[in-house]
């Protein structure tokens, strides 16, 4: 390519500047590149093509435009001449890849030409491709250029060399005042943060704009609806299609104050044939509320679209000043989704070049400026959606489903023009198939209760081992006798069927007998944790109305209660097993009432029936292989958690036995390993916290054993450690309100970063609900709801809370709202994303706290991390990261940089705080409430600007350095508290000594005690100096 | 009115506002919550002052009233009404004693709220001394640690030894060893002396506490009890001969002793107690 000397430089327009800004912000991208490509049968004549390519820039001045960036300005100028020599390549192999790479190659604002050509030789055909920067062309231009190029080529082939009529570059007039006013009014009060789709990922730290696309030909049914609605609603096809796009986006979480970008031609009548950058993206602001019908929305869209067209002389970039920006993003302030309607005319795609058949080839540049752009092309017979998307925020699987949902939605609206769009399903047939398959969990429940199952086994083989409790070996028969004895004593103490019996008994054979004895008495049990404070126990006893408390050795129930001691399993009178008595525990009778940990508010009692319990235990025993193994089950979990019951009950339905493990084995890996080895335990269940604590001691033992992890998110690394050691690992999930675990997923050998929670268990249905209760399809984040046999009737004695958390869905029946955010994966498994209150919007940016934690936890020195928002997320809120880095405290100083490189800027924590250990809730989970409080108190203690690295003056800086040195904490700032950062009195004396050495001022020790921050100490020193 | 010198002002308020007093010996940089952690969450509309223990060498000759006098004098001089006296751990003994003395001087007796209150006995002093040594393992040689620990064991086992004698003898053994070790670690004489004196003050504080009977003061007290079995009423109830300790009310929290003063639920409860008390007086 050759270029002549340039003419005068002119400052680039605002529209052009905005275009080049994108090249600056995403350097090396071809996001602004366009293409004109066509395939010709046979060979193109190289000489004629060269002649035609020579004439093209001679005719169109705009093609000779180049840009120069200097420090202070972007200018353009027109080269007097420009020659284009096509690059040549053999088109074997990946033609599409070759063309995409050619088009994607960046152009530069350094005076070099903004177009280039490629001639690709296929076996029987040639492909010609012209790549142009958007600054000198648009889609309309490529059609004009194609016609002109063919004309020049044919002339050259015929031996003519026409002298082209020069066409000067056309410059758009300034937008009219009327348009400026119109757009300012139209966009007033708009905020782009409401545009995010529930299937979008947070934008990556570095914007790449790497794009991908999906193509879908509308089904004949959908196309028929579009054609019909044009007539029926008296709206252009484009508006019908646009409205459906808006409804689709709204169904995916955008809006209802929705904006969609739409390209329009900004050529005035006098410039209809102008080549150049003469398209504008207009912003269509379309209120898409759920209550409106499609007919109404089409009317609204038509008006919005027409008005926008009438004011299309205002480039979108001029509008940016009007909009209040949310967050720090520079992308997509006006809209994130684009709709582009291209009516087809037959001659546009196929034509002839000197008599040879030719057809247009669509070449993408491999980038997407927008989150999602629908290009809809349509003719009488069909319509095609090409959906281009930014891979940084959307996955191909999501977009593939979206185009299918678009199709299904069009079919649906055809029959329901006045139905509120919020009640129309946006599900595609694939969504239905996959989610319904995952929920097809119906199974007959053969046992009436766990009691019945246990009794059958006891009758069949009374001498078999049921419970190993230390040195005590308890057979099924013995356990039965102790249960009968317990039932008799309970009855004697006044317990009647339907009563509640509290069990204040440590895990062991006596507790097992008390459980079955309670059921034999027709009662349900209330499991109590002897470690809980007396008030909590008293509250549960009173609230549940427990008739009698069964107490273990040395334990007493608070207050004046009727108690009986736990059975002595070894000495209970021997009685034959009687399967006839188990009918006292009917499927609809309560098996237990359990209280949730109640981190906020009063603990809530959850009554669970025998049907729910036996359904779940039966499923687990089969699913987790307890039925088929000869190895015993470990009984490790605290019995006041419902999860503990499966460790007792699964083996007892199948003739196996459970081994009582000590509480300390939950934290002492060596002890747990000893127990596994001694008893050859085949099944163990714990929280990820426990697995993390014990993993290094048990990895050489777990091969071939089944491990369950539940209660908290299972980190991928931990899962990989366990599966890598050969464990059969399951990740389970479930609220107590729907009975123990509701879903289970076998963790694959190479679990990756995120471990899903599998699929619903027997007779359990999961649905993911949007904010309006609508059931969401694959990929969309919403609240996980559990329906099915396990769902409790509600909270005991709490109708208000019951009404809030439990509901009835027309499709899924009675359900429980979990408060957890989740989404369906394309394979029908469930991806759990954390608690709803852990998904926050901080100044407009959606933040998944769990994901930040995952990134921090990947740092080699971080043992664990917890991230939370401190303060009001809408105002002064900030992100605080608590990290455990006890093995290398100096890693604290590296974390900010580490996070900054891996996380979008908006979610990099503002503060990093080291902790020795995380406060934990009673159920062994991280206590975020306690952390939030700690963060607030640290803020209060360290003043307002805790994020600043050091204080503003030299003395404070010196003191900060001393603090950091003495405490080995390079992360400390001017407001760091000496004693909460690891200091003690001896170090305080050393600090005072060092200060004296450096400043000559002698502080008393009490000065350090009373002024424990560098800033405060600096003040004290100044006072003394 | 000048700033108090034997009280540390944790929360200031207008000169005519009430004051809440808190008794604790927090300056050792221990890993425990203190009143400075608790105070911001109390939402007080009055001042909160915390004891500064006098620098004294422990010994049997210290008169308890003389020890308490500077604290009482400064409160009296301020003219403030004492709304409540709070105490933590062994400091609860002083809270009880101070409250009893203040009650006779103002129309309404102050509320008393004590957190894991402990009567000071030989095991208490032994435990606290162990913590002091634990903080100094970086400068003491293993032989010195052994010597101090061994001496403490022997003294504790001596029949009939009183807490005051125990504290005084421990300090007498510690003083030369500690001073030498701190000088060796590079501290100048002044700072080494200050640190050693601090240990002396602490032992004195414990010794004086052991001689006071806080039970009359505690009988009106609300006790906040942690879940730690070796602390507060939990320990005293399990110690033969001590129970019963009469208290007006007890609120238990499922947190460790060291976290008691930095637990939000505790703060909420105490804020409620103090708020209710101040309402009742209006």
Residues A904-917, mean pLDDT to the nearest whole number:
77
Minimum CA–CA partner of A1007 in chain B: B27
B104: distance to nearest CA of chain A, Å? 32
One domain for residues A937 and A991: no
Pick from A984, A1004, A1010: CB nearest B194 = A1004
Q: Which residues, other chains included, contact A340 with Cβ-Cβ below 8 Å and sequence gap of 6+?
A: A262, A263, A373, A374, A375, A376
**CATH classification at residue A282:** 3.30.559.30
One domain for residues B77 and B98: yes
One domain for residues A389 and A246: yes
**Cβ neighbours of A535 in B, within 8 Å:** 252
Q: How many CB atoms lie within 10 A of CB A406?
A: 25
Question: Which of B210, B238, B265 is the C-terminal boundary of a domain?
Answer: B210
Closest CA to A247 of A414, A483, A37, A473: A414
What's the domain count of chain A?
A: 4
CB contact under 8 A, B29 and A930: no
Residues A387-404, mean pLDDT to the nearest whole number:
95
For the entire predicted model, the pTM comes to: 0.68
Question: Which of B155, B188, B210 is the C-terminal boundary of a domain?
Answer: B210
For chain B, the distance separating the N- and C-terminal CA atoms, rounded to the nearest angstrom, is 26
One domain for residues A225 and A347: yes
Whether the CB of A1006 is below 8 Å from some CB of chain B: the reply is yes
Given this model, what pLDDT does residue B121 score?
87
One domain for residues A936 and A974: no
DSSP letter for A564, please: E
Chain CA centroid to CA A745, Å? 19
Q: What percent of chain B has pLDDT over 70?
A: 93
Given this model, what pLDDT does residue A666 score?
86
Given this model, what pLDDT does residue A535 score?
77
One domain for residues B249 and B109: yes
One domain for residues B232 and B171: no
Q: Which domain holds residue B83?
A: 7-119+214-281
Given this model, what pLDDT does residue A952 score?
45
Task: Quickly tell me which residue has 């000779």 as its tokens.
Answer: A64
Whether the CB of A1010 is below 8 Å from some CB of chain B: the reply is yes
Whether the CB of A940 is below 8 Å from some CB of chain B: the reply is yes
One domain for residues B146 and B164: yes
Residues A831-836, mean pLDDT to the nearest whole number:
85
CA separation for the pair A913, A885 (Å, rounded): 10
- pLDDT(A758) > 70: yes
Whether the CB of B135 is below 8 Å from some CB of chain A: the reply is yes
Q: Quote the tokens at residue B65.
A: 């009233």
One domain for residues A153 and A6: yes
| pLDDT band at residue A344 under the 50/70/90 scheme | low
Higher pLDDT: A908 or A20? It is: A20
The tally of CA atoms less than 13 A away on the side-chain side of residue A463 is 0
Whether the CB of B138 is below 8 Å from some CB of chain A: the reply is yes
Whether the CB of B160 is below 8 Å from some CB of chain A: the reply is no
CA separation for the pair A481, A618 (Å, rounded): 24
A541: distance to nearest CA of chain B, Å? 17
Maximum average pLDDT range among A24-33, A817-826, A841-850: A817-826
Within-domain flag for A581: no
Pick from B28, B52, B185: CB nearest A984 = B28
One domain for residues B60 and B84: yes
**Cβ neighbours of B41 in A, within 8 Å:** 937
Residues A250-257, mean pLDDT to the nearest whole number:
94
CB contact under 8 A, B198 and A937: no
B41: distance to nearest CA of chain A, Å? 9
Given this model, what pLDDT does residue A453 score?
97
**Cβ neighbours of B192 in A, within 8 Å:** 989
Given this model, what pLDDT does residue B280 score?
36
Whether the CB of A532 is below 8 Å from some CB of chain B: the reply is yes
pLDDT digits (tens, 9 = 90+) for A261-296: 998 888 877 788 889 999 888 899 999 999 999 999
- pLDDT(B1) > 70: no
One domain for residues A918 and A978: no
One domain for residues A902 and A1003: no
- pLDDT(A444) > 90: yes
Q: Which domain holds residue A402?
A: 177-197+209-269+277-426
Whether the CB of A920 is below 8 Å from some CB of chain B: the reply is no
| pLDDT band at residue A331 under the 50/70/90 scheme | low
SS3 category, A498: coil
Q: Quote the tokens at residue A117.
A: 């050509």
Encode A601-630 in three state secondary structure.
CCCCEEEEEHHHHHHHHHHHHHHCCCCCCC
Given this model, what pLDDT does residue B97 score?
92
Residues 34-93 of B with CB under 8 A from A: 36-37, 40-41, 52
One domain for residues A256 and A313: yes
One domain for residues B95 and B11: yes
CB contact under 8 A, B191 and A987: no
One domain for residues A1018 and A931: no
Encode A730-793 in three state secondary structure.
EEEECCHHHCCCCEEEECCCCCCCCCCCCEECCCEEEEEECCCCCECCCCCCEEEEEEECCCCC
Within-domain flag for A388: yes
Pick from A984, A993, A996: CB nearest B135 = A984
Pick from B52, B198, B264: CB nearest A985 = B198
**CATH classification at residue A857:** 3.30.300.30
One domain for residues B184 and B252: no
For chain A, the distance separating the N- and C-terminal CA atoms, rounded to the nearest angstrom, is 74
Whether the CB of A559 is below 8 Å from some CB of chain B: the reply is no
pLDDT digits (tens, 9 = 90+) for A714-753: 888 899 999 999 999 999 999 999 999 999 999 999 998 8
b or e along A186-205 (b: 16 or more beta carbons within 10 Å of the residue's beta carbon)? Answer: bbeebebeebbbbbbbbbeb
Given this model, what pLDDT does residue B261 score?
93
Within-domain flag for B153: yes
Average pLDDT, chain A: 88
Residues A604-609, mean pLDDT to the nearest whole number:
95
Within-domain flag for B2: no
| pLDDT band at residue A129 under the 50/70/90 scheme | very high
CA angle A7, A12, A18 (to 5 degrees): 150
For chain A, give me the number of helices (H) and strands (E)?
A: 28, 42
List, as one string, the DSSP characters of A329-359: --S-SS-SEEEEEEE--HHHHEEEETTEEEE
CB contact under 8 A, A989 and B253: no
pLDDT digits (tens, 9 = 90+) for A489-522: 999 999 999 999 999 999 999 999 999 999 999 9
CA separation for the pair A443, A440 (Å, rounded): 9
pLDDT digits (tens, 9 = 90+) for B94-103: 999 999 899 8
pLDDT digits (tens, 9 = 90+) for A215-239: 999 999 999 999 999 999 988 899 9
One domain for residues A87 and A135: yes
Q: How many CB atoms lie within 10 A of CB B62?
A: 17
Whether the CB of A979 is below 8 Å from some CB of chain B: the reply is yes
- pLDDT(A950) > 60: no
| pLDDT band at residue A948 under the 50/70/90 scheme | very low
One domain for residues A251 and A397: yes
Given this model, what pLDDT does residue B272 score?
85
- pLDDT(A5) > 70: no
| pLDDT band at residue A27 under the 50/70/90 scheme | confident
What's the domain count of chain B?
A: 2
One domain for residues B129 and B186: yes
- pLDDT(A606) > 90: yes
Which of B5, B8, B12, B27 to mutate to test binding with chain A, by most A CBs within 10 Å of its CB?
Answer: B27
| pLDDT band at residue A909 under the 50/70/90 scheme | confident
Pick from B27, B30, B40: CB nearest A940 = B40
Whether the CB of B194 is below 8 Å from some CB of chain A: the reply is yes
Residues A879-895, mean pLDDT to the nearest whole number:
82
CB contact under 8 A, B135 and A533: no
Reported in sequence order, the residue ranges of A790-853 that DSSP labels E, i.e. its strands, are 806-809, 813-824, 830-835, 839-842, 845-848
Within-domain flag for A306: yes
Given this model, what pLDDT does residue A133 score?
96
- Helix axis angle, A237-251 relative to A396-414, nearest 10°? 120
Inter-residue contact A246 to A433 (CB < 8 Å): no
**CATH classification at residue B91:** 3.40.50.1820
Residues in chain A: 1025
- pLDDT(A591) > 50: yes
Residues A2-14, mean pLDDT to the nearest whole number:
70
Residues A244-268, mean pLDDT to the nearest whole number:
92
- pLDDT(A846) > 70: no
One domain for residues B14 and B94: yes
Higher pLDDT: A871 or A101? It is: A101
b or e along B113-133 (b: 16 or more beta carbons within 10 Å of the residue's beta carbon)? Answer: bbbbbbbbbbebbbebbeebb
Closest CA to A331 of A200, A508, A161: A200
Given this model, what pLDDT does residue B2 score?
52
Within-domain flag for A169: no
Within-domain flag for B130: yes
| pLDDT band at residue A764 under the 50/70/90 scheme | very high
One domain for residues B113 and B230: yes
CB contact under 8 A, B191 and A985: no
Question: Which of A380, A409, A426 is the C-terminal boundary of a domain?
Answer: A426
ipTM passes above 0.90:
no
Residues 432-461 of A with CB under 8 A from B: none
pLDDT digits (tens, 9 = 90+) for B237-256: 877 766 667 787 888 898 88
List, as one string, the DSSP characters of B204-230: HHHHHHHH---HHHHTT-EEEE-S-TT
Whether the CB of B262 is below 8 Å from some CB of chain A: the reply is yes
CA separation for the pair A124, A556 (Å, rounded): 93
Within-domain flag for B1: no
CA separation for the pair A990, B190 (Å, rounded): 12
- Helix H segments across A237-293? 237-251
Within-domain flag for A474: no
One domain for residues A339 and A234: yes
Q: What percent of chain A has pLDDT over 90?
A: 55
A369-383, A384-398, A1003-1017: the lowest-pLDDT one: A1003-1017
Within-domain flag for B229: yes
| pLDDT band at residue A330 under the 50/70/90 scheme | low
B30: distance to nearest CA of chain A, Å? 7
The tally of CA atoms less than 13 A away on the side-chain side of residue A984 is 15
A53-67, A354-368, A923-937: the lowest-pLDDT one: A923-937
Within-domain flag for A310: yes
| pLDDT band at residue A1025 under the 50/70/90 scheme | low
| pLDDT band at residue A321 under the 50/70/90 scheme | low
B83: distance to nearest CA of chain A, Å? 24
| pLDDT band at residue A7 under the 50/70/90 scheme | low
Given this model, what pLDDT does residue A923 score?
62
- Rounded (10°) CA dihedral A677, A681, A682, A684: -110
Within-domain flag for A301: yes
A930: distance to nearest CA of chain B, Å? 7
Whether the CB of B252 is below 8 Å from some CB of chain A: the reply is yes
Residue A784: C-alpha distances to residues A44, A429, A769 (Å): 60, 21, 6
- pLDDT(A380) > 50: yes
Question: Which of A914, A942, A970 is the C-terminal boundary of a domain?
Answer: A942
A649: distance to nearest CA of chain B, Å? 30
Given this model, what pLDDT does residue B3 score?
64
b or e along A1-31 (b: 16 or more beta carbons within 10 Å of the residue's beta carbon)? Answer: eebeebeebeebbebbbebbebbeebeebbb
Question: Which of B162, B186, B210 is the C-terminal boundary of a domain?
Answer: B210
Whether the CB of A983 is below 8 Å from some CB of chain B: the reply is yes
Residues A348-358, mean pLDDT to the nearest whole number:
88
> At residue A210, what are phi and psi to the nearest 5 degrees?
-65, 130
pLDDT digits (tens, 9 = 90+) for B101-140: 998 888 888 999 999 998 888 988 998 888 888 777 778 8
Question: Which of A359, A394, A426 is the C-terminal boundary of a domain?
Answer: A426
One domain for residues B109 and B237: yes
Counting one residue from chain A and one from chain B, the pairs whose CB atoms sit within 8 A come to: 68
Given this model, what pLDDT does residue A836 score?
82
Minimum CA–CA partner of B136 in chain A: A986
Given this model, what pLDDT does residue A599 score?
44
Higher pLDDT: B225 or B60? It is: B225
One domain for residues B264 and B152: no
Given this model, what pLDDT does residue B274 score?
85
Q: Quote the tokens at residue A382.
A: 């069909």
**CATH classification at residue A968:** 1.10.1200.10
Within-domain flag for A259: yes
Given this model, what pLDDT does residue A939 score?
60
Residue B154: C-alpha distances to residues A222, B51, B60, B200, B263 (Å): 93, 32, 19, 20, 38
B38: distance to nearest CA of chain A, Å? 9
**Cβ neighbours of B252 in A, within 8 Å:** 533-535
Whether the CB of B185 is below 8 Å from some CB of chain A: the reply is yes
- pLDDT(A944) > 50: no
Q: What percent of chain A has pLDDT over 70?
A: 93
CB contact under 8 A, B195 and A1006: no
Given this model, what pLDDT does residue A607 score?
97
A245-254, A399-408, A941-950: the lowest-pLDDT one: A941-950
Higher pLDDT: A530 or A488? It is: A488
SS3 category, A728: strand
**CATH classification at residue A101:** 3.30.559.10
CB contact under 8 A, B252 and A1005: no
């Amino acid at each position: 390519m050759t270029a002549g000397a340039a003419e005068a430089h002119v400052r680039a327009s605002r529209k052009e500047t905005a275009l080049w800004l994108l090249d600056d912000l995403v350097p090396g991208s071809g996001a602004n590149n366009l293409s004109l490509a066509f395939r010709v049968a046979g060979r193109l004549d190289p000489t004629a093509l060269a002649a035609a390519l020579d004439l093209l820039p001679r005719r169109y001045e705009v093609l000779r435009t180049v840009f120069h960036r200097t420090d202070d300005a972007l200018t353009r100028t027109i080269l007097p001449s420009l020659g284009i020599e096509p690059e040549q390549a053999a088109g074997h192999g990946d033609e599409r890849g070759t063309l995409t790479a050619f088009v994607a190659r960046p152009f530069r604002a350094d005076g070099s030409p903004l177009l280039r050509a490629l001639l690709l030789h296929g076996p029987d055909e040639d492909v010609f491709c012209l790549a142009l920067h958007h600054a000198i062309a648009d889609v309309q231009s490529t059609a004009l250029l194609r016609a002109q190029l063919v004309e020049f080529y044919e002339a050259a082939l015929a031996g003519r060399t026409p002298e082209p009529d020069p066409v000067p570059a056309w410059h758009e007039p300034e937008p009219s005042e009327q348009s400026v006013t119109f757009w300012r009014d139209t966009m007033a009060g708009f905020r782009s943060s409401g545009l995010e789709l529930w299937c979008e990922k947070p934008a990556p730290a570095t914007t790449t704009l790497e794009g991908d696309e999906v193509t879908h030909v509308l089904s004949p049914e959908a196309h028929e609806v579009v054609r019909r609605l044009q007539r029926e609603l008296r709206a252009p096809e484009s508006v019908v299609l646009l409205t459906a796009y808006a409804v689709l986006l709204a169904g995916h979480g955008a809006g209802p104050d929705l904006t969609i970008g739409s390209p329009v031609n900004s050529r005035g009548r006098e410039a209809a044939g102008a080549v150049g950058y003469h398209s504008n993206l207009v912003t269509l602001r379309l209120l898409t509320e759920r209550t409106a019908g499609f007919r109404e929305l089409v009317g609204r869209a038509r008006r919005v679209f027409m008005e926008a067209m009438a004011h299309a002389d205002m480039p979108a970039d001029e509008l940016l000043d009007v909009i209040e920006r949310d967050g720090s993003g520079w992308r997509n302030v006006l809209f994130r989704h684009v709709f582009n309607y291209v009516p087809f005319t037959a001659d546009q795609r196929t034509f002839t070049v000197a008599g040879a058949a030719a057809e247009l080839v669509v070449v993408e540049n491999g980038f997407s400026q927008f989150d999602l752009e629908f290009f809809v092309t349509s003719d009488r017979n069909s319509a095609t959606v090409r959906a281009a998307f930014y891979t940084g925020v959307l996955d191909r699987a999501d977009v593939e489903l979206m185009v299918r949902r678009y199709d299904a939605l069009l079919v649906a609206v055809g029959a329901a023009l006045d139905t509120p769009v919020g009640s129309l399903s946006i599900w595609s047939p694939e969504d239905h198939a996959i989610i319904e398959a995952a929920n097809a969990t119906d199974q007959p429940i053969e046992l009436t209760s766990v009691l019945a199952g246990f009794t059958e086994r006891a009758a069949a083989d009374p001498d078999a081992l049921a419970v190993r409790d230390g040195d005590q070996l308890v057979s099924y028969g013995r356990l039965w006798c102790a249960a009968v004895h317990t039932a008799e004593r309970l009855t004697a103490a006044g317990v009647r069927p339907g009563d509640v019996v509290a069990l204040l008994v440590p895990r062991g054979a006596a507790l097992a007998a008390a459980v079955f004895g309670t059921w034999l008495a027709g009662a349900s049990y209330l499991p109590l944790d002897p470690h809980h404070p007396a008030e909590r126990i008293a509250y549960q006893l009173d609230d549940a109305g427990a008739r009698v408390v069964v107490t273990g050795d040395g334990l007493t129930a608070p207050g004046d209660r009727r108690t009986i001691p736990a059975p002595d399993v070894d000495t209970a009178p021997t009685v034959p097993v009687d399967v006839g008595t188990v009918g006292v525990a009917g499927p609809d009778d309560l098996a237990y009432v359990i209280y949730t940990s109640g981190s906020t508010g009063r603990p809530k009692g959850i009554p669970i029936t025998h049907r729910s319990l036996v359904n779940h235990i039966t499923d687990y025993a089969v699913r987790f292989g307890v039925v088929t193994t000869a190895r015993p089950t470990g009984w490790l979990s605290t019995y006041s958690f419902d999860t503990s019951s499966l460790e007792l009950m699964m083996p007892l339905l199948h003739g196996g036995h459970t081994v009582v493990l000590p509480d300390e084995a939950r934290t002492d890996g060596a002890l747990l390993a000893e127990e596994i080895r001694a008893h050859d335990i085949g099944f163990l269940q714990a929280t990820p916290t426990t697995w993390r604590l014990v993993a290094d001691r048990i990895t050489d033992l777990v091969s071939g054993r089944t491990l369950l992890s539940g209660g908290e998110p299972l980190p991928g690394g931990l899962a990989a450690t366990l599966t890598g050691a050969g464990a059969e690992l399951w990740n389970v999930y479930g609220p107590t309100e729907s009975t123990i675990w509701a879903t289970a997923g076998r963790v694959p050998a190479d679990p990756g970063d995120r471990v899903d929670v599998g699929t619903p268990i027997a007779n359990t249905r999961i649905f993911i609900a949007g904010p309006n209760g609508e059931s969401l399809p694959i990929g969309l984040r919403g609240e996980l709801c559990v329906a099915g046999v396990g769902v409790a009737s509600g909270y005991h004695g709490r109708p208000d809370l019951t009404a809030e958390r439990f509901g009835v869905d027309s499709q899924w029946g009675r359900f429980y709202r979990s408060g957890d955010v989740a989404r369906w994966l394309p394979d029908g498994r469930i991806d759990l994303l954390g608690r709803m209150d852990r998904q926050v919007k901080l100044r407009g940016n959606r933040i998944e706290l769990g994901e930040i934690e995952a990134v921090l936890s990947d740092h080699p020195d971080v043992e664990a991390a917890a991230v939370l928002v401190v303060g009001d997320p809408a105002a002064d809120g900030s992100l605080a990261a608590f990290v455990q880095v006890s093995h290398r405290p100096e890693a604290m100083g590296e974390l900010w940089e580490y996070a900054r490189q891996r996380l979008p800027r908006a979610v990099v924590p503002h503060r990093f705080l080291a902790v020795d250990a995380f406060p934990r809730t009673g159920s062994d989970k991280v206590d975020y409430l306690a952390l939030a409080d700690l963060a607030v108190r640290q803020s209060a203690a360290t003043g307002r600007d805790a994020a600043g690295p050091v204080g503003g003056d030299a003395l404070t800086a010196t003191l900060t350095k001393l603090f950091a040195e003495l405490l080995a904490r390079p992360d400390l700032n001017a407001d760091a508290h000496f004693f909460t950062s690891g200091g003690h009195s001896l170090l305080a004396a050393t600090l005072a000594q060092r200060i004296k050495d450096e400043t000559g001022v002698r502080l008393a020790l009490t000065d350090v005690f009373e002024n424990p921050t560098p800033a405060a100490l600096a003040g004290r020193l100044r006072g003394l100096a | 009115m000048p700033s108090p010198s034997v009280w540390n002002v944790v929360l200031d308020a207008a000169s005519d506002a009430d004051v809440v007093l808190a008794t604790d010996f927090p300056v050792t940089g221990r890993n425990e919550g203190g009143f400075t952690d608790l105070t911001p969450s109390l939402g007080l509309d009055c001042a909160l002052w915390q004891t500064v223990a006098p620098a004294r060498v422990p010994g049997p000759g210290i008169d308890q009233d003389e020890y308490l006098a500077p604290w009482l004098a400064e409160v009296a001089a301020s003219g403030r009404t004492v709304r409540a006296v709070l105490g933590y751990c062994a400091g609860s003994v002083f809270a009880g004693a101070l409250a009893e003395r203040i009650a006779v001087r103002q129309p309404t007796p102050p509320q008393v709220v004590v957190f894991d209150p402990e009567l000071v006995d030989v095991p208490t002093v032994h435990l606290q001394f162990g913590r002091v040594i634990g903080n100094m393992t970086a400068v003491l040689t293993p032989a010195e640690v052994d010597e101090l620990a061994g001496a403490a064991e022997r003294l504790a086992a001596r029949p009939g030894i009183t807490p005051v004698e125990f504290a005084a003898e421990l300090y007498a053994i510690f003083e030369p060893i500690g001073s030498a070790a701190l000088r060796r670690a590079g501290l100048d004489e002044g700072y080494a002396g200050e640190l050693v004196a601090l240990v002396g003050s602490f032992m004195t504080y414990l010794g004086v506490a052991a001689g006071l009977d806080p039970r009359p003061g505690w009988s009106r007290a609300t006790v906040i009890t942690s879940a730690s079995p070796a602390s507060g009423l939990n320990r005293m109830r399990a110690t033969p001969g001590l129970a019963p300790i009469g208290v007006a009310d007890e609120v238990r929290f499922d947190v460790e002793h060291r976290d008691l003063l930095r637990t939000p639920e505790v703060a909420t409860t105490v804020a409620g107690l103090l708020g209710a008390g101040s309402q009742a007086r209006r």
